[in-house]
Amino acid sequence: MSTTVFILNGPNLNLLGQREPDIYGRTTLAEIEAQCRDKTQALGLTADFRQTNHEGTLVDWLHEADAAGARAVLLNAAAYTHTSIALLDAIKAIGVPVIEVHLSDPHTREEFRHISYVGMAAAHTVQGLGPQSYIQALEHAAQL
């Protein structure tokens, strides 16, 4: 089994640390990436960490993770979580387990955030733990 875990991040996550810090905290995406790289190394895994503001790019990366035989995909699809049937279909089409990740808990927020198309196909979900959500998801990926 591959040791590579794709860690895919969706729209506006490049603005972490400055965007709505009362919801998402002050930790930047670069700091989360460093934490993930440290954790994957400790777990004997390799992180392939990416961010895009484009839905189709996320779909392409899911396909790429499958073609590469990745161990798992951690996916923080951000707003696309609640809107993207394309991501739902892509997750269902690949054989790599996808772990849905959220910094906040969408179920405690606006009603439209209660629907997760990603969660409809994800193997596991970790949410509401801030940056620790990524670390817990990596621990889950290591056990696959």
CB atoms within 10 A of CB 113: 16
Does the predicted TM-score (pTM) go above 0.85? yes
pLDDT in tens, 63-121: 999 999 999 999 999 999 999 999 999 999 999 999 999 987 877 776 866 789 999 99
CB 122 within 8 A of CB 62: no
CATH 3.90.600.10 is held by the domain 4-142: no
Contact between 61 and 13 under an 8 Å Cβ cutoff? The reply is: no
Closest CA to 143 of 71, 62, 68, 70: 71
Question: Which residues are designated catalytic?
Answer: 24, 102
